[in-house]
Amino acid sequence: MNITQILFWFLSVVALFSALMVITNKNPVYSVLWLIVTFFAISGHYILLNAQFLAIVNIIVYAGAIMVLFLFVIMLMNLNKETEPQKNRWLRMAGAVAGGCLLLVLVAALKDTDIKQQQAMVNGGSIGLIKNLGKELFTTYVVPFEISSILFLSAMVGAVVIGKKE
Amino acid sequence: MTLLVIDWWLILEKALLIGGIIGLSFFIAMYTTLAERKVAAWLQDRRGPNRAGPFGIFQPLADGGKLFFKEEIIPLASNKFLFILGPALAMITALITSTVIPWAAPFITKGGNVIPMQVADVDMGILLVFSIVSVGVYGIMIGGWASNNKFSLMAAVRGASQMVSYELPMGLCLIAVLFMTGSLKMSEIVANQVQNGWHIIYQPLGFLIFFICALAECNRTPFDLPEAENELNFGYHQEYSSMKLGFYLFAEYINMFISSAVMVTLYFGGYDIPFVNEASWGLSSFWMSLISFSVLMAKISFFLFLFLWIRWTIPRFRYDQLMNLGWKKLIPLALVNMIITAAVLLLLNK
């Protein structure tokens, strides 16, 4: 077992455990904090694959910016056990069934894809470094890249329109 | 069978470097607190602390001792674990940002091994600093929320939104610098400046915006709204006492130190000695490292002084003014700066 494998198992355990804590915690603030831990573990996995840019951007965007907004909302609404609406048992069961169906569909869809034959390149490969990734994005994948930037722009305009409504 | 192959020399070297840098950060932060009081006194025509030791140089030790021996109060209605996690996070994130800063010219041993005076020269370089800064918000937010105090919560929300807003123009200024270097590596940013002159010559507007944002990111006056005493009592650390309060206050000084180091590295040539070609002196690499390190420290000290100078000169902004400045003035300016830089570089290359 080399150090990469040790790190892989460690990060996997952290990611799975913190993801479980996100959904089992009663307090929504704790859930958000565990979700941040999950993002860090996933960033660790990216670094193991030498996808450094993805790892850093994952932390800046998800752990740094989006989760702060989540925390804002939850902290200001001051959700806790007393004020939280009690969901009835049927709703919970329906949720479990729906989630199970989604899992089933995902497993069925991914069962025969060729992903499982492909080995991840651990500790090597330089496509995740910023220079190579940038070249690839702005040459081979420039059209989808620009289209997604228009998507972001429209989201931004939409946010401004909603904010200006009054 | 060997279970693990570890380069123990590398670990030792890095451990020494990390220990040295953390020690240095603490030392500088300690004496910045004294400098703050001395500068304040000087600007207000007073003498400042001068009882502990000659010229008051043991004052930081006395302050630290006082904070350690104060009674520690954790509010009953607070969330105990998060209450302790808050200041710890603030301190940890403040210290981690120093990893990618090159502190001196690389040191070459007699055997020909090059030891870079930098904990990690990763490909992401400066972006790593940004990612850690963006995580640093949680120290304030968690502490403010866990205190279970309305003033603390308001201050924490203010602080976090201020930091998130000012990260944007900061990042846009950074992009203009990266256009010129073509690399995110801190070592290459410094090398580019040694070769082509400091970035402040080409990016004066970019530096100004970056500096204003750095003030806001460190929660320093005129942007110290998270601890505005006359509106929020004492801000997000109101419920804190003893060394936990000390950690919050201390983290601010470490942040000042590190952000000065980042600004010097990005715009003022890092450890480069101005106006001379030091490579022609023929000094041994040990002396070169030492001299370049002192030059870096001199530049950082100037910026620390600038931070203090501004604090005791300029009054605090109002909150809406802060947001207006960030979103409506700095971001468009930084965008224009970025576009002009890109256009000029494109013209020069063709």
pLDDT tens figures, B212-235: 999 888 887 788 877 777 777 777
Question: Do A134 and A80 share a structural domain?
Answer: no
Q: Which residues of A, range 146-165, sit inside 8 Å of B by Cβ?
A: none
- Using CB atoms, pick whichever of B123, B130, B183 lies closest to residue A52: B123
Q: Is residue B264 part of a domain?
A: yes
Instruction: Determine the distance in angstroms separating the CA of A86 from the nearest CA of chain B, rounded to an integer.
Output: 23
Q: Is residue B65 part of a domain?
A: no
Q: Do B130 and A60 touch (CB under 8 A)?
A: yes
Q: What is the pLDDT of residues B323-340, one digit of tens each?
A: 888 888 899 999 999 999
Tally the domains of chain A.
2
Segment (H or E) for B105:
strand B104-108
Q: What is the DSSP letter of A1?
A: -
**Which amino acid is present at A83?**
T
Domain that holds residue B144: 71-349
Two tokens, residue A146: 């620009």
CA B50/CA B29 separation, integer angstroms: 19
CB contact A65 to B (< 8 Å):
yes
Mutation test of the interface with chain A: which of B85, B96, B145, B151, choosing the one with the most A Cβ atoms within 10 A? Answer: B145
**What is the distance in angstroms between the CA of the first residue and the CA of the last residue of chain B?**
59
CATH number where A52 lies: 1.20.120.1200
Q: Is residue B254 part of a domain?
A: yes
pLDDT at residue number A85: 64
Distances (CA, A) of B146 to A75, B140, B150, B238, B240: 10, 10, 11, 11, 11
Q: Is residue A121 part of a domain?
A: no
Q: Is residue A105 part of a domain?
A: no
Chains A and B form CB pairs within 8 A to the count of 65
Q: Do A29 and B145 touch (CB under 8 A)?
A: yes
- Residues of chain B found within 8 Å of residue A153, distances taken between Cβ atoms: none
Q: Do A64 and B161 touch (CB under 8 A)?
A: no
Q: Which residues of A, range 85-124, sit inside 8 Å of B by Cβ?
A: none
CB contact A53 to B (< 8 Å):
yes
Q: Is residue B10 part of a domain?
A: no
State the DSSP string of B111-150.
Answer: TS-EEEESS---TTTHHHHHHHHHHTHHHHHHHHHHTT-H
pLDDT digit of tens for each residue in chain B (350 aa)?
Answer: 455 666 777 788 888 888 988 998 888 988 888 888 888 888 888 888 888 888 888 888 888 888 888 888 888 777 788 888 888 988 998 888 888 888 887 777 777 777 777 887 788 888 888 888 888 888 888 888 888 788 888 888 888 888 888 888 998 998 888 888 888 888 888 888 888 888 888 888 989 999 999 988 888 778 887 777 777 777 788 888 888 888 888 888 899 999 999 999 888 888 877 777 766 777 777 788 888 888 888 999 999 999 988 888 888 888 888 888 888 889 999 999 999 999 998 898 85
Two tokens, residue B323: 């947001």
* Domain final position from A50, A84, A118: A84
Q: Searching chain B, which residue's CA lies closest to the CA of residue A54?
A: B124
Q: Do A72 and B6 touch (CB under 8 A)?
A: no
Q: Is residue B315 part of a domain?
A: yes
pLDDT at residue number B143: 84
pLDDT at residue number A127: 74
* Cβ atoms of residues B250 and B29 within 8 Å: yes
Question: Do A73 and A142 share a structural domain?
Answer: no
CA B142 to the chain's CA centroid: 21
pLDDT at residue number A82: 59
Distances (CA, A) of B303 to B33, B214, B263: 14, 11, 9
Q: Is residue B31 part of a domain?
A: no
CB contact A59 to B (< 8 Å):
yes
Question: Do A135 and A79 share a structural domain?
Answer: no
Q: Do A60 and B141 touch (CB under 8 A)?
A: no
Instruction: Determine the distance in angstroms separating the CA of A134 from the nearest CA of chain B, rounded to an integer.
Output: 12
Long-range contacts of A92-99 (CB under 8 A, 24+ apart): none
* Cβ atoms of residues B223 and B252 within 8 Å: no
pLDDT at residue number B350: 56
Tally the domains of chain B.
1
Q: Searching chain A, which residue's CA lies closest to the CA of residue B145?
A: A75
Q: Searching chain A, which residue's CA lies closest to the CA of residue B86?
A: A33
Question: Do A133 and A59 share a structural domain?
Answer: no
* Domain final position from A51, A84, A117: A84
Q: Is residue B193 part of a domain?
A: yes
Distances (CA, A) of B33 to B40, B272, B274: 11, 27, 29
Domain that holds residue A23: 1-84
CB contact A76 to B (< 8 Å):
yes
* Mean of all residue pLDDT scores within chain B: 84
- Residues of chain B found within 8 Å of residue A55, distances taken between Cβ atoms: 124
Q: Is residue A112 part of a domain?
A: no
Mean pLDDT by 10 residues, chain A (166 residues): 82 93 85 90 87 87 85 75 68 89 89 66 69 85 90 90 80
Q: Do B160 and A76 touch (CB under 8 A)?
A: no
Q: Is residue A97 part of a domain?
A: no
Question: Do A152 and A74 share a structural domain?
Answer: no
CA B217/CA B326 separation, integer angstroms: 12
CA A51/CA A46 separation, integer angstroms: 5
Q: Is residue B48 part of a domain?
A: no
pLDDT at residue number A121: 62
pLDDT at residue number B1: 43
pLDDT at residue number A41: 93
Q: Which residues pair with B69 in a beta bridge?
A: none
pLDDT at residue number A124: 61
Q: Searching chain A, which residue's CA lies closest to the CA of residue B7?
A: A3
Mutation test of the interface with chain A: which of B184, B186, B189, B217, choosing the one with the most A Cβ atoms within 10 A? Answer: B184
**Which amino acid is present at A64?**
G
